[in-house]
Structure 1
Amino acid sequence: MKTKHILIFEHDVLKYPPILSVINYLFSQNKEVILIGYSSSESFVDDFCKRGGVFYNVIENRVSDNLFIKTINYLQFKRRVHKIISKYQVAESKVWLFGEPCIWLLHDLVLKFESNLYLFEIPSFKVRFRYKVLSPTLNYGKTLRVASKVVCCEYNRAHITKSFFKLNDLPVVIPNKPLIQDSEIVENISKELVTKIKGKKVILYQGIFNYPERRLDEFCEAMSYLPDDYVLCLMGSDNKYKENLKVKFQSDKIIFMPYISAPHHLAITKLAHIGILVYNGEGVILKTH
């Protein structure tokens, strides 16, 4: 049985509740947890290390970075991860790669280590050009097929993944829900916000502000067609796209909220009447045989 679990991610782990759930579960099973990536919170890192974890801060991947900076960051990320992971024995270590970019960048680890590949969304059916350049030997389908486990967040997505990539086994389904107790949720909601949404029908977006993949302009524009008892709340970390939206649309009916780390964001979630998701991906025609 593997005694060390090496978790790798190229973004801020605090913004991905499924990763936090995996960490909590592994600690509850008395596993040795090594986390390679980035955290925006020193208190999280301190708590993680106090629980017996080992943390390596190897990248700060900002949405606002231009393509050149991101490419350099990814190259450095690959080199640093390989240097760190060379310290650990294959026989006693299991690697977790979270999200497609991480899988694409570090696909060669899957051939060396027992690996769990965690897909947050429906998989991309074509590898993006940037990652083909950064990982020229990548065969995405083969990487998924040789992994110990592929993880999806939903039953139908698991079947799509199995069918398209010709996997032998159905991916494991782990819902994108944090592994927490209700008592852990701190209701840190400002009185000003409560006043603005009191008696309103709340339409809520919680996620990253990332244009064009998470384009929110049309949702903001649509609010002019709804009665005054509806409000749109947009919650997530600050960046240039969020600031542009605020300049164009902020009003009594469109409220911009700061990022609240998991699981405390659920205190906001429970106030919503309608939740919205945004995925403006590249369309791909799937041929079935």
Structure 2
Amino acid sequence: MKNRIVLTMIYDIKLFPPVMSICNILSELNYEIVYIGGCSDATIEKALTEKNYVRFYRTSLYGGNGIQRIFQQWRYRKQVLRILETEYIPKNTFLWLLHSETVSLFSGVLERYDTIAHLFEFKNPSQKWAYKLLNPFSSFEANLKKSKRVICCEYNRAHITKAIYNLDKLPYILPNKPYNKQQSEELLILPPSIQELVSKYREKKIILYQGIFIPERKVDDFIEAVNLLPNDYVLFLMGGGTSLYNELKNKYQSDRIVFLPFLPPPLHLEITKLAHIGIFVYIVNGVPINHAINVLYCAPNKLYEYSKFGIPMIANDLPALNMVFSQNKAGVCLQTLSAEEISRAILEIDYDYDAYSKASNQLYSSIDMVDLVKTILSDED
């Protein structure tokens, strides 16, 4: 029975709440945890290392232009392999590779370790040339099945991955459901300026968008929709970090259209739980097949962040979300994103709010993350 897990991801852990959830779960299951990766938030690193007994090897943050990324990939891969020389104990350790890009970087050594390939996003079978430079004598397509476990975050993606990569068995399905503990009081206290702002809206019906701000998210349609509703409805837009966020804020900010900055997880849930209805939108047109699959069969954190607090949801019509809301009346999918249809959907949910809220809670409770991780780690090969 293995009792040590070495997790690694090339991306900033701050941007991936599901990775922090996995650390929390492994801690509860009493695994020895080693994490290798970047972290731009000292509070998150402190919470993981102090409360979850994670031994943290920090790598450089990943980003920049193509040439910079190639060098960063090489340096990150070299650093991880060096750390594994002492931290990976055969027969006692799983190497858990997080994100398809991380798996790609180590595709040439997957059979060297007892590897868990956690893809998050669906991976295009045609590997980019930069990855081939790091693994010149092997291919991602041929090597993925050499992993001891393959994990996807959504049912349809798991079947597509099995078919395209000719895997011997269906990948495990581990949804992007948050699993947080009360890690420290400091982590869960909103900044005073945010507390002061949200205190003005305690008696309002808050429609919440949280996430990145790009044109495909159609945030301006929801702004228009809220303006069609009675004055007790307000729209909270939480995120930032893009020029579109600043553009929308300058154009629309008002007493009813409230812009909030990005808050690191799980602190952002202190805003989430205030919501009356949660929204998320994913539009895809004319993009590569891997991106289309990731959108059509999306597995958003927000699905479980909203349902954690029994918050009904509104989304655009996508196969994955339509399937969820057909099975569970936790929300509605819209055929169009006109302001009129959005406002009607909000009023429709409000008309039967208790039923939608109860179904949202049931959706959250239907997934036992600890049991799923336990099964992944204990299944016989």
Q: TM-score, normalised by structure 1?
A: 0.80
Q: What is the alpha-carbon root mean square deviation over aligned residues? A: 3.2
Q: How much has 1:276 moved relative to structure 2? A: 1.3
Q: Give 1:201 shift.
A: 5.5
Alpha carbons of 1:83 and 1:110: their partners in 2 closer, same or farther (altered >3 Å)? same
| CA shift for structure 1 position 205 | 3.1
| Unmatched 5+ stretches in structure 1 | 210-214
Show the counterpart of 1:268: 271
In the other structure, the counterpart of 2:282 is 278
Which segment drifts farther, 1-10 or 186-195?
186-195
Contact 1:104 1:138 in 2 (8 A): no
Q: Choose 46-55 or 14-23, whichever is displaced more.
A: 46-55
**Alignment partners' CA distance in 2, 1:279 and 1:106:** 31
Q: Which has the higher contact order (CA 8 A, sep 6+)?
A: 1
Quick one: distance in 2 between partners of 1:70 and 1:280? 26
Q: Is contact 2:35–2:56 with CA below 8 Å preserved after alignment?
A: yes
The one-letter amino acid of 1:85's match is L
User: Residue 250 of structure 1 contacts residue 256 of structure 1 at CA under 8 Å; is this kept in 2?
Assistant: no
Whether the 8 Å CA contact 2:125–2:141 is kept in 1: the answer is no
Q: How is 1:239-254 mapped onto 2 (pairs within 5 angstroms)?
A: 239-241=241-243, 245-246=247-248, 249-252=251-254
1:110-125 matches, within 5 Å, as: 110-125=110-125
Mapping for residues 1-289 of structure 1, pairs under 5 Å: 1-50=1-50, 51-62=52-63, 65-87=64-86, 88-180=88-180, 186=188, 188=190, 189-193=194-198, 195=200, 199-200=204-205, 202-206=207-211, 208=212, 215-216=214-215, 219-223=218-222, 225-228=224-227, 229=229, 233-236=236-239, 239-241=241-243, 245-246=247-248, 249-252=251-254, 255-270=258-273, 271=275, 273-278=277-282, 280=284, 282-284=287-289
Asked if the contact 2:14–2:264 (Cα under 8 Å) also holds between the matched residues in 1, the reply is yes
Structure 2, gaps ≥5 residues long: 293-381
Aligned residues: 277
Q: Could you tell me which residue of structure 2 aligns to residue 212 of structure 1?
A: none
Distance in 2 (CA, whole Å) between partners of 1:235 and 1:195 is 16
Higher-helix-fraction structure: 2
Q: In 1, Cα distance between the equivalents of 2:283 and 2:131?
A: 20
AA in 2 matched with 1:219: K
Residue aligned with 1:190, SS: helix
Identity of aligned residues (%): 25
Deviations 1:234-281 (A, max 9, x none): 433x54545654576452365442222222322333415242143658
- Alpha-carbon separation, structure 2, partners of 1:136 and 1:242: 40
Deviates more, 1:227-236 or 1:112-121: 227-236
The range that moved more, 125-134 or 181-190, is 181-190
Deviation at 1:36, TM superposition (A): 0.3
After superposition, the C-alpha distances for 1:79-119 in whole angstroms (9 at most, x for unaligned) are 11111112233333210011111111122231200011112
Tell me which amino acid in the other structure corresponds to 1:34.
V
Partner SS state of residue 270, structure 2: helix
- Deviation string for 1:16-73 (max 9, x for gaps)? 12111211121122211110001223233334333432211112124xx233322222
Matched position secondary structure for 1:33: strand
Q: Note the C-alpha offset of 1:157.
A: 2.0
Determine the C-alpha separation between the residues in 2 that align with 1:178 and 1:224: 28
Question: What amino acid maps onto 2:262 in structure 1?
Answer: Y
CA contact (8 A) 2:236 2:258 kept: yes
Cα shift at 1:225: 4.5
TM-score for both structures, normalised by structure 2: 0.62
Letter in 2 for 1:81: V
Contact 2:97 2:118 in 1 (8 A): yes
**Equivalents in 2 of 1:53, 1:201: separation in Å?**
37
What is the distance in 2 between the residues matched to 1:234 and 1:75? 38
Task: Name the CA distance, whole Å, in 2 between partners of 1:240 and 1:224.
Answer: 18
What one-letter code is carried by the residue in structure 1 that aligns with 2:31?
Answer: K
The answer to whether the 8 Å contact 2:205/2:276 transfers is: no
